[in-house]
Amino acid sequence: MDYLIDKKINRLATGASESSPVGCILNEHLSPSDSGFDMHYALEIGILLKGGMNRYYREWETAYSAGDVWLCGPWEPHGYKALSVPCRALILVVWPGFLSKAGGEYDLFAPFRAAPAERPRLHKSQKTEVLNIARKLAAVTAIPDKYTNLWLANKTVELLLILLENWQTDHAAAPRLDNEDYNLITRVLETAFRQNNFITVEEIATAAGMNRNLFSRKFREVMGIGFPDFMLRHRLNGAASDLTATSLSIDEIALKWGFTDKSHLHHRFRELYNCTPGDYRHK
């Protein structure tokens, strides 16, 4: 997937926070070569308004057309490539803790915990309704007022309920997560983002005031990956940023981000980005 080397990973999605839990971004792609790769803590709900797009995950990809909806979980690598242009998409970025208390009897986080290929897809009959919601959101956020955040929050819940309406999966019956779990993981992430080097599960669990097993379980429930995988992605993200934004040598970048040497960084970098650090910098 060579599209991965055209854009750098962003550590956190913009536009969402604990106080403003839903942000809205309107993206328009005018070239069939437009592509990108992203990874962030906030959840993502995308609605394709016009055109065609391929969406990529680590081990799965599929094509989307107008009216289709996609989801991305916390810190989940994902990418896109425009297929037919103009290609226009509405992106909602959602603070994960918001969903733990917004769904009432429904587990709104369940679709994000499922594997990409198992996530809900809209029926054809639902697409007009979803497109109308998306256009309303685009209009509301274009001229924001004191009700904009409320509109975003309510319509996000409405969209997820539409997706859940006919979704038959074991994930929907998974244990619900408490809002404190999300707050705990947010604090852990803030600590981890200040580190360049490898941190053990034991070290971060102690800092969070928990034993190793309990911390590991809660972290995986919220993030969908184990803490060691998360830290590896964080360090690779930092290395990728330095490759594009600094003149440091690859050896210097490897040491800065806690890799043994250039060869170690090269091996790990190819696993996630599907290219070498040198190719990434050149592109």
Cα separation, 37 vs 77, whole angstroms: 7
Average pLDDT over residues 22-32: 90
How far is CA 46 from each of CA 27, 65, 89, 91, 278, rounded to the nearest angstrom? 10, 12, 7, 5, 32
The answer to whether the beta carbons of residues 55 and 89 sit under 8 Å apart is no
Which of 9-13, 80-84, 249-253 shows the lowest per-residue confidence on average (mean pLDDT)? 9-13
Which of 14-23, 80-89, 139-148, 205-214 shows the lowest per-residue confidence on average (mean pLDDT)? 14-23
Distance separating the N- and C-terminal Cα atoms of the chain? 14
Backbone dihedral region for residue 246 (phi beyond 0: left; psi -120 to 50: alpha; all else: beta): beta
Entry pTM: 0.74
Q: Which has the closest alpha carbon to 43: 109, 114, 103, 89?
A: 109
Average pLDDT over residues 78-83: 90
Cα separation, 133 vs 241, whole angstroms: 36
Residues in CB range of 181: below 8 A, 6 or more apart: 100, 218, 221, 222
Tell me the per-residue pLDDT of 181-234, one tens digit each, with 9 for 90 and over: 767 777 787 788 788 888 889 999 988 888 999 999 888 877 778 899 888 888
pLDDT of residue 197: 83
Structure tokens at 265: 């960084």
Tell me the per-residue pLDDT of 90-147, one tens digit each, with 9 for 90 and over: 999 998 778 877 776 778 888 998 889 999 999 999 999 999 999 999 888 888 888 8
pLDDT band at 265 (very low <50, low <70, confident <90, very high): very high
pLDDT of residue 6: 33
Convert 100-139 into a string of H (helix), E (strand) and C (coil). HHHCCCCCCCHHHHCCHHHCCCCCHHHHHHHHHHHHHHHH
The answer to whether the beta carbons of residues 120 and 164 sit under 8 Å apart is yes
Structural domains in the chain, sorted by start: 2-173 (2.60.120.280), 179-282 (1.10.10.60)
Between 31 and 221, the higher pLDDT residue: 31
Cα separation, 47 vs 135, whole angstroms: 10
Cβ burial, residue 282 (10 Å; 0-12/13-18/19+): exposed
